[in-house]
Structure 1
Amino acid sequence: MKIILENWRRLALLFLILLLLFLIGNWSQKKAETSWNVNAGEADNSPLSDTEENDKVEGEKASEGLTLQSGVGEEEMAVVDIKGAVHNPGVFTVPSDSRLHEVIEKAGGFTAEADTVQVNLALKVWDQMLMYVPKKGESADIISSTAAPGTSDVKKININSASQSELTELTGIGEKKAQAIIEFREKNGAFKTIEDLLLVPGIGEGILSNIREDISL
């Protein structure tokens, strides 16, 4: 009798344990389903789905790419007026880092009458630059209505065409030296370089260094 009673107790305890495990498992499953439904609802109610969010990100990246590309290739330009002994005088727009020979090419190149010795083809151009290409026998410098950056608007004295009174405006050049300059160029032709002034009697390195920035060819 005691053995039978003990077996019933064990069966009852085992039944209670199994019932408890079943209840706990059922409760856990319901909690998990409730949590999943809540998360799913939040995802559905969000402003953008995963696909829409990805599309938005890709669109923003594409927009940024277009913005960056729009800035690429922008180049500062200079408007240059060229006159004189070129085939097609006129106004030309070129990149601001261009040299004079590039503008002359745009103007059709030199004519047969052009005095190319007086033209510095390596000169860097600037915006609103006015250039005159002289013909042979003319004494003309490149003229600029707006001075190049970093330079002054003070007109330089052309030693190939200046009068005696104009030459005397230079530091250290009196009437005798001015006359000597005129006689030298009449006898030997136009000065080809600034340094040719040293060939004129009475003009040395000291005087030349004082007037170098105030003269032109």
Structure 2
Amino acid sequence: MKYMLESPKRIFIIALLLFLIFFIGFWMQKKEESAWNTTQALTIVPESLQDEDEHPNEELVPPENMESLPEKEIWVYVDVKGAVDKPGVYKVSENSRVQDVVKKAGGFTKEADQMQINLALKVWDQMLLYVPEQGEEIEIVSTPVISSQDSTDHRINVNTATLQELMTLNGIGEKKAEAIIKYREENGPFISVEELLNISGIGEGILSKIREDISL
């Protein structure tokens, strides 16, 4: 009789344990799924946000408000002589002043007569800047010479000619004229007409056609 009374009690305890085991297992499974979903949500970026990351400033900076590209700088060559530490030909911006060129030439020597030099003078291409020594008299130049070559010389100066002027030469089209200008900007003025042979597309044949029509 006692055994029969204890059997329902055992069955109840076993059923309770099975229920607890099932409940704990179900709870842990839900917890793992929740953690996985949270991780996925953190790593997946919505397409709308991805598009914004690819073009972060597309709407912040309207095209009409963007700064224009800087203009190409133009270079000129100035021949510096006299009482400076390093006389020579210097390549400077066309907006440079005499003081900038003197600085490039190493500055004045102790013997230089600075009173005869206009440091504020704006330079120009093929300018000759002569710095006298103390006691030496020179004519102070205040404006550039209008023409750098003899008015009777109708040859094209390859060191100063414009694109259009170079294109008037026999066999020199737009591309070759651009190449000539680019070469002198990167390497300085031509020292001899034969130096034109260093330019791609200009050979002995073309040089012989234009030799009499060009100058340095």
Q: Shorter chain as normaliser: what TM range? A: 0.3 to 0.5
- Bigger radius of gyration, 1 or 2? 1
TM-score of the two chains, using structure 1 as the length reference: 0.35
TM-score of the two chains, using structure 2 as the length reference: 0.35
